[in-house]
């Protein structure tokens, strides 16, 4: 091991090609992962933050929050269903927001809510007051500002910040039910809902009840006019999300595979070049295991160094990439990339094992 590390220290140029290749792959993995996380979180934050384990939509809405309608009578049936502890109405309208001193409008999703989502205070008392998602700061939104929503410029005042509450990549604004209704009335008078009607219900399940069973009970109680699903199912059913995730994951897995290939080819060539040295090591008493441990330790160190350099580059990239691009570098993603790189480097270096085992110590003397 010490010999392998000494070589890395004294001959860095020899390992530079693999280091640079893996560093760039790390950058790619972190940026791709960051974009995937950013897109996912930006699309799903509002649903993930819901306090209830279940979400109830109208059965004809095909799990679309925008299309769904739940009237007051249905909501009352839901509340009475076995296993239901609490029910809260939820409404949303997607609008453009005029931000003071900004030429471009920010895209926002204004929610009216009865039960406070995770990290969001109780509904504001005053109609027209909203909590804004922190991501809107990238669009110039400031605390205390008045944003003008929709074509008829319905005014809402930002009274606080909340995090990770965006919906379909639109900045989350959270007001009381009346604020939401007024905004809909102002922007889309044709889409105004009857009093007591919401787009969906967030349903808190009684302790000890099984959410899937409660969901079935709700839909039975409403005579099939509702479609109740778990929060995670609702999140996964958002349009395009699954395809987005599959595409990104395919690229990420391919990149990991390329990383393994880079390490495999690099160390295969290096092992070929070192056949005489390994023969000498074997002649003086090194086992194949000891030699392979050297190859392995070099592969792991290169993977870790590449990750560190790639992570620095990725962090630097966040300063260059416009804030509107939904790039989120998370610790979980970084851990996944570093573990993935190490695993792929180990897998790649295993290709050299056969060659190491086959090195004939007698060739040192021949």
Residues forming contacts to another protein in the complex (CB under 8 A) are 2-3, 6-7, 10-11, 276-277, 280-287, 290, 361-362, 364-366
Q: Report the alpha-carbon distance of residue 70 to residue 194 in Å, rounded.
A: 10
The nearest distance, CB 268 to another protein, in angstroms, is 20
Residue 224 neighbours by CB under 8 Å, 6+ apart: 59
The nearest distance, CB 285 to another protein, in angstroms, is 2
Q: Report the alpha-carbon distance of residue 177 to residue 1 in Å, rounded.
A: 65
CB neighbour burial string for 113-132, b if at least 16 within 10 angstroms, e if fewer = bbbbbeebeebbeebbbbbb
Residue 225 neighbours by CB under 8 Å, 6+ apart: 58, 59, 74
Q: Token pair for residue 303? A: 């993977």
End-to-end Cα, the chain, rounded Å:
27
Nearest 5°: CA angle at 169, between 74 and 318? 150
Q: Report the alpha-carbon distance of residue 4 to residue 89 in Å, rounded.
A: 63
Identify the H or E element spanning 29. helix 12-48
The nearest distance, CB 15 to another protein, in angstroms, is 12
Widest CA span in the chain = 94
Backbone φ and ψ of 150, nearest 5°: 75, 180
Taking CA atoms, 303 is separated from 21, 26, 279, 350, in Å, by 10, 9, 26, 14
Q: Token pair for residue 95? A: 């609008």
Q: Is 13 helix (H, G, I), strand (E, B) or coil?
A: helix
Q: Report the alpha-carbon distance of residue 175 to residue 160 in Å, rounded.
A: 11
Closest by CA position to 128, among listed 181, 198, 175 = 175
Q: Report the alpha-carbon distance of residue 175 to residue 38 in Å, rounded.
A: 24
Backbone φ and ψ of 365, nearest 5°: -105, -20
């Amino acid at each position: 091991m010490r010999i392998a590390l000494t070589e890395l220290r004294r001959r860095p140029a020899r390992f530079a090609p693999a280091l640079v290749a893996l560093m760039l792959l790390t950058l790619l993995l972190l940026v791709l992962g960051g974009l995937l996380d950013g897109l996912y979180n930006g699309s799903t934050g509002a649903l993930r933050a819901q306090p209830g384990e279940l979400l109830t939509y109208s059965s004809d809405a095909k799990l679309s929050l925008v299309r769904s309608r739940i009237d007051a009578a249905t909501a009352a049936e839901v509340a009475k269903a076995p296993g239901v502890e609490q029910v809260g109405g939820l409404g949303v309208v997607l609008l453009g927001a005029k931000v003071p001193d900004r030429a471009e409008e920010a895209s926002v999703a204004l929610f009216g809510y009865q039960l406070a989502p995770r990290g969001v205070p109780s509904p504001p008392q005053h109609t027209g007051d909203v909590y804004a998602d922190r991501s809107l700061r990238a669009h110039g939104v400031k605390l205390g500002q008045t944003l003008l929503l929709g074509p008829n410029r319905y005014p809402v005042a930002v009274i606080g910040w909340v995090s990770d509450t965006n919906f379909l990549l639109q900045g989350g604004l959270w007001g009381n039910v009346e604020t939401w209704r007024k905004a809909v009335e102002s922007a889309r008078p044709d889409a105004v809902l009857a009093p007591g009607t919401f787009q969906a219900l967030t349903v808190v399940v009684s302790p000890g009840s099984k959410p899937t069973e409660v969901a079935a009970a709700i839909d039975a109680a409403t005579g099939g006019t509702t479609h109740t699903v778990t929060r995670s199912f609702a999140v996964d059913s958002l349009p395009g999300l699954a395809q987005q995730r599959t595409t990104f994951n395919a690229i990420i897995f391919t990149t990991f595979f390329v990383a393994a290939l880079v390490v495999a080819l690099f160390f295969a060539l290096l092992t070929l070049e070192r056949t005489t040295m390994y023969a000498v090591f074997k002649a003086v008493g090194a086992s194949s295991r000891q030699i392979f441990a050297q190859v392995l330790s070099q592969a792991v160190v290169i993977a870790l160094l590449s990750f560190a350099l790639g992570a620095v580059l990725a962090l630097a990239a966040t300063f260059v990439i416009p804030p509107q691009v939904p790039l989120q570098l998370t610790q979980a993603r970084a851990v996944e990339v570093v573990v993935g790189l190490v695993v792929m480097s180990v897998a790649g270096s295993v290709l050299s094992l056969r060659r190491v085992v086959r090195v004939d110590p007698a060739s040192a003397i021949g």
